[in-house]
Amino acid sequence: MQTNITIEQGVVHDVPEDLRQVFLSNSELLEKWNSLTPLARNEWICWTTMVKQEKTRKEHIQRLQEEILDGKKRPCCWPGCPH
């Protein structure tokens, strides 16, 4: 695995380790992730990490992957990052 892989961060939020591993395992997803705006990345990170249950977090990570690969820029039907 390359050591010089860039995973772009959000504005307020950094990419957590579980998302980092997802991006490192899927180059197409990583490319689309890095092409998002910093605000869009921030929304995805916050949407994924602000849930309380591990099961819900895993569901959000799965949905993040599917929706970004489908070309979506931000999580749907969510009021946005409160931070």
Is 76 part of a structural domain of the chain?
no
Residue 58, token pair as written in the block:
């895993």
Residues 58-69 pLDDT 10s: 999 999 999 999
Inform me whether the pLDDT recorded for 50 exceeds 60.
yes
Is 5 part of a structural domain of the chain?
no
The residue segments making up the domain with residue 32 are 17-69
Residues 33-44 pLDDT 10s: 999 999 999 999
Number of structural domains (the chain) is 1
Mean pLDDT (whole number) for 38-62: 96
- How far does CA 53 lie from the centroid of its chain? 17
Cβ count near 43 (within 10 Å): 21
Is 50 part of a structural domain of the chain?
yes
Is 82 part of a structural domain of the chain?
no
Is 11 part of a structural domain of the chain?
no
Is 81 part of a structural domain of the chain?
no
Mean pLDDT (whole number) for 36-55: 96
Is 30 part of a structural domain of the chain?
yes
Is 79 part of a structural domain of the chain?
no
Inform me whether the pLDDT recorded for 46 exceeds 90.
yes
